[in-house]
Amino acid sequence: VDKSSQRLTIAIQKSGRLSTESIALLQACGFRFSLHEARLLAHSSNQPVDLLRVRDDDIPGLVMDGVVDLGLVGENVLDEVRLERKATNISYDFTRLRALEFGQCRLSIAVPKEDNYQGLADLQGKRIATTYPYLLQNYLQQQGISASNAILTGSVEVAPRAGLADAICDLVSTGATLEANGLIEKEVIFRSQAQLIQRPGSLPAAKQAIVDQLLPRIDGVQMAKE
């Protein structure tokens, strides 16, 4: 990515739960894109705007490092990266422009159904499997609970049965995955939706003008949905 470029660069998730709605929103805001499955970069044909299509986990860092101008990402991933960077002394500055009203989910603690779970105190000294170690520890600390993380990048919900952890902390939408793995949701620790974020510092005037045009269009699209 050429940082001196006058084209506004927007990072979105390449393929996953946020992709379709991210592209649909930008198109509804008047940007035209032709997307080629294999390509990382997509140029808008009617605006000086480029889409960078990456894994959602990479989006907050790309924005915070100023490698891209804007990013569309789940608040769960955004906050996890922010806490991780804060803890490891990497800059975590960014501007939140809009909550996007899609990608809703919650990060919850779930325990095996047969456990006689009474409350958070039952997690004291236990091991909790998660992909979100910073959000989890941030929450436990606020609640005065000390538990250890078992950090997994996937298949978190099988960890208790596999003997890797006593509980899990994972994203939930319907609870069907939990149910299928004999788990029951007990504590919601974070509620999330997709966010539009901007890199720190001011944008060159040409890019700022596009953002100034984009934001009221997003508001319009959201208003029309209500």
Among 33-41, 74-82, 205-213, 217-225, which window interacts with ligand ATP (CB under 6 A)?
74-82
64 touches ligand ATP (CB under 6 A): no
Contact 129, 152 (CB under 8 A): yes
User: What CA–CA distance (Å, rounded) separates 14 from 177?
Assistant: 24
The correct pick among 11, 25, 68, 77 for binding ligand ATP (CB under 6 A) is 77
Looking at beta carbons only, is 18 or 123 nearer to Zn ion?
Answer: 18
**Residue 138 CB neighbour total at 10 angstroms:** 18
From the CB of 57, what's the least distance to Zn ion, in Å?
4
User: Per CB under 6 A, which of residues 156..185 are in contact with ligand ATP?
Assistant: 171, 173
80 touches ligand ATP (CB under 6 A): no
Q: 71, 69, 47: which is closest to 213 by C-alpha?
A: 47
Q: 195, 183, 186: which is closest to 107 by C-alpha?
A: 186
The correct pick among 1, 29, 33, 57 for binding Zn ion (CB under 5 A) is 57
110 touches ligand ATP (CB under 6 A): no
From the CB of 60, what's the least distance to Zn ion, in Å?
11
- b/e burial code for range 95-109 (CB count within 10 A of at least 16 → b): eebbebebbebebbb
133 touches ligand ATP (CB under 6 A): no
User: What CA–CA distance (Å, rounded) separates 223 from 150?
Assistant: 42
The correct pick among 56, 69, 80, 157 for binding Zn ion (CB under 5 A) is 56
Task: Tell me which residues touch Zn ion (CB under 5 A).
Answer: 56-57
